[in-house]
Amino acid sequence: MFGASLPIPSNSPLLRRAGNKAVFSETDSGEFGSVTGEGDLLLPKLNVTKISSIAMQSSAILPSPILLWRFKVILFLLWGIGCCKIGWDSVMRMNGDLRDLFLYEAFLYYNPLLLVTMTVWLWGVNLWVFAQSTVNYSKVFDLDHSHLTHHEIWKCATWMTIVVPTSMTAYLYLYSHGEVSLAASQPVILYVVVVMILIFPFDIFYLSSRFYLLRTLWRIAFPLQAITFCDFFLADILTSMSKVFSDLERSICRMVNRQVATIAWFEADSICGSHSVAIPLVLVFPYLCRLLQCLRQFKDTKEKTSLLNALKYSTAFPVIFLSALKYHVFPDHWTNFYRPLWLLSSVINSFYSFYWDVTRDWDLSVLSRMFKFKTHHLLTTMFYGRRWVFYWVIASNLILRCTWTYKLSAHLRHNYLTVFTISALEILRRFQWIFFRVENEWNKMTLKPSLELSTEETPEEEDMLLGNENHNV
């Protein structure tokens, strides 16, 4: 009974070969049902060995993430070098007299999308820093859990970086080789694809985020409802991209009027030329939207600060319209009368905007946790508690605010390389502005409940006297 082996018939359902499927007896539920054969002991060992060997083989076949990332970087660099080489050779094939005009036109079509691509890259950097810090940006912007992270933003920016220069290279190559009609179709196809991706109604290409952006743009264009932080935050960013909207308007005008890859637009009486009234109107449109938001906010809150903020955006109107008058008045009138007014309005707009950035949008007096990260990080050592960071931000903001009026000036738009550089610097200024603006809003959100709680917990002197039942007279 104790340790002796019991005889089992050869036809018993408990007997099986090693490696066969296990068979359990349905008729016998006694002690024989718990007997395990030698094959049952070998089966787990064989399965573990087989799984481990398959895993080792698959890991040997698949490349490591670092190796795959390096391969992508090499392909990206080769693509960039190829685009630069083809573009340069195509430009050198053109006639020297028309080369500058053609480059100006080509730059006009692709300059807006290049600046938008730069903005997307920098916005991904903003989100990455916020994710590393104590700022809960999703709560500040009232985003749901399906919002795009910095990885997804950078993925979109990568595709934009590939598609836009590729289309520009194709435009240069086709035009220099005499294929004018095919060259003219390149920016048209690119713009149509961008619009289709934005309004595509199916659940691909981040549908919820695309529609969230479109809804916010609609609310900015028609501020008929209560203004949220996301509304005026995006509207402020759009004011830094007013030149982008101006170039988009002229590009679309030429596409509609079939002036792409021609020099008809350069004529003064052309509908898409430099004298067009639509140019200053498009430049002023983001400032007008922001002005209406401030008025709507004053209607809802009755705060006088909203009126002062509206006054700040209204100072951009004289800068834009006085500059546009150069094309509609005599040169002597512009030099002797309108140009001094334009300079004065530019100074007022620059310093008023700078003052508002530092004292209102940033409120440096409460930014005690700027660049404070959740864990020890390289950026913590570089930025947190460093006084030079604030000096740099204030000084650079003042300088770039002054140069920003150069870009708003319609009579300076033909210096396209200078205007592009200033536009890129303005986007960089807005990029660093975002850190302080979002941090300030997060501080208000976190400090306000604590202040309200402290006020509620502090009893009034009269309540202390009347509410004390155990006092002695």
**Distance in angstroms (rounded) separating the CA atoms of residues 266 and 104:** 10
Calculate helix-pair angle for 278-301, 304-314, nearest 10 degrees: 170
Residue-wise pLDDT tens digits, 165-188:
999 999 999 988 888 889 999 999
Has residue 274 got a pLDDT over 50? Answer: yes
> Of residues 35 and 296, which shows the higher confidence score?
296
Q: Is 299 strand, coil or helix? A: helix
Question: What pLDDT is attached to residue 328?
Answer: 81
Question: What pLDDT is attached to residue 284?
Answer: 92
Question: What pLDDT is attached to residue 78?
Answer: 93
Question: What pLDDT is attached to residue 458?
Answer: 44
| Pair of tokens at residue 218 | 């609609």
Question: What pLDDT is attached to residue 457?
Answer: 47
> Of residues 301 and 25, which shows the higher confidence score?
301
Question: What pLDDT is attached to residue 334?
Answer: 82
Interior angle at CA 422, CA 290 and CA 293, nearest 5: 5
Q: Is 133 strand, coil or helix? A: strand
Mean pLDDT of all residues in 408-433? 80
Question: What pLDDT is attached to residue 142?
Answer: 85
Q: Please, which residues have CB within 8 angstroms of residue 238's CB and are 6 or more apart in sequence?
A: 220, 245, 286, 289
Question: What pLDDT is attached to residue 23?
Answer: 44
Which is it for the CA torsion 255, 260, 263, 264, positive or negative? Answer: negative
Q: Is 134 strand, coil or helix? A: coil
Calculate helix-pair angle for 229-239, 207-221, nearest 10 degrees: 80
Mean pLDDT of all residues in 247-252? 89
Which is it for the CA torsion 40, 46, 47, 48, positive or negative? Answer: positive
> Of residues 453 and 279, which shows the higher confidence score?
279
CA Rg, the chain, in Å? 33
Has residue 359 got a pLDDT over 50? Answer: yes
Residue-wise pLDDT tens digits, 424-473:
999 999 998 998 888 888 888 887 655 454 444 444 433 443 344 443 32
Question: What pLDDT is attached to residue 381?
Answer: 55
Identity of the highest mean pLDDT range in 108-117, 261-270, 364-373:
108-117
Q: Please, which residues have CB within 8 angstroms of residue 249's CB and are 6 or more apart in sequence?
A: 278, 279, 282
Read off the pLDDT band of 49 (50, 70, 90). low
Read off the pLDDT band of 378 (50, 70, 90). low
Burial track 420-448 (b if 16+ CB lie within 10 A, e otherwise)? bebbebbbbbbbbbbbbbbbbbbbeeeee
What value does the mean pLDDT of the chain take? 78
